[in-house]
Amino acid sequence: MSAKVEKLVWDHIDTVLLDLDGTLLDLGFDNDFWLDFIPSAYAASQGLSVERARAVLAPRFRACEGTLSWYCIDYWSRELFAEDAGRVDRLQLRRRRQGQERRR
């Protein structure tokens, strides 16, 4: 038995939400952001090696996976960096992303 599939009436739809993983951002961006960009910025702000920063951050990342905060740059800025230094630089992040796209 096949399920009946209703056709969408797009004229009546105001908003469409997309899944972020793989739709708007790819795995390459995710890996760069979580495995390099954030640990490097955190290491610099805390005077740690990047490897030590990754070890410190890993449990914090795991605790937040699957929540809306996981995707929120403002959340991670507040959680990981002092008020006066080390905020996630969105312009720097955008430039890194653009550089990745040019290399493809």
> Is position 12 within any domain?
no
pLDDT in the model for residue 29 = 77
**Alpha carbons 32 and 21: distance in angstroms, whole number:** 14
pLDDT tens, position by position, 63-96: 998 888 887 888 888 888 765 454 566 666 666 6
> Is position 15 within any domain?
no
Half-sphere exposure of 102 (CA within 13 A, CB side): 6
**Alpha carbons 19 and 88: distance in angstroms, whole number:** 23
Q: Pick the closest to residue 77 from 38, 40, 48, 46 (CA basis).
A: 38
> Is position 20 within any domain?
no
Domain count, the chain: 1
